[in-house]
């Protein structure tokens, strides 16, 4: 059973307030499926990380974000 299927099964079997199991599953999903995760409050830092990790796609994105208009 895949991680997504297992998470869905847990949700449908126990549809209540998120538990430690749900939290651990969410952390596993983030680690397996995402290169980087950012938060809105630190958006400029997130853009800087993207520039470093994926320069072919994000070079200059921070300057573009800061540019007026």
My answer on whether 18 and 44 are in the same domain is no
pLDDT-flagged residues of the chain (< 70): 1, 3-4, 7-8, 10-18
My answer on whether 24 and 54 are in the same domain is no
My answer on whether 30 and 47 are in the same domain is no
Chain centre distance of CA 33: 8
- Both tokens of 53, joined, read 């990790």
Give the number of other Cβ atoms within 10 Å of residue 38's Cβ: 14
Q: Could you give the percent of the chain with pLDDT greater than 90? A: 62
My answer on whether 2 and 16 are in the same domain is yes
How many residues are recorded in the chain? 69
pLDDT tens, residue by residue, 11-21: 666 666 667 88
How many structural domains does the chain have?
A: 2
């Amino acid at each position: 059973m895949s991680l997504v299927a297992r998470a869905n099964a847990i949700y449908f079997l126990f549809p209540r307030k998120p538990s430690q199991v749900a939290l651990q599953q969410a952390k596993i999903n983030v680690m397996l499926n995402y290169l980087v995760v950012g938060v809105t409050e630190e958006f400029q830092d997130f853009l800087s990380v993207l520039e470093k990790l994926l320069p072919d796609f994000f070079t200059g994105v921070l300057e573009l974000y800061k540019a007026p208009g």
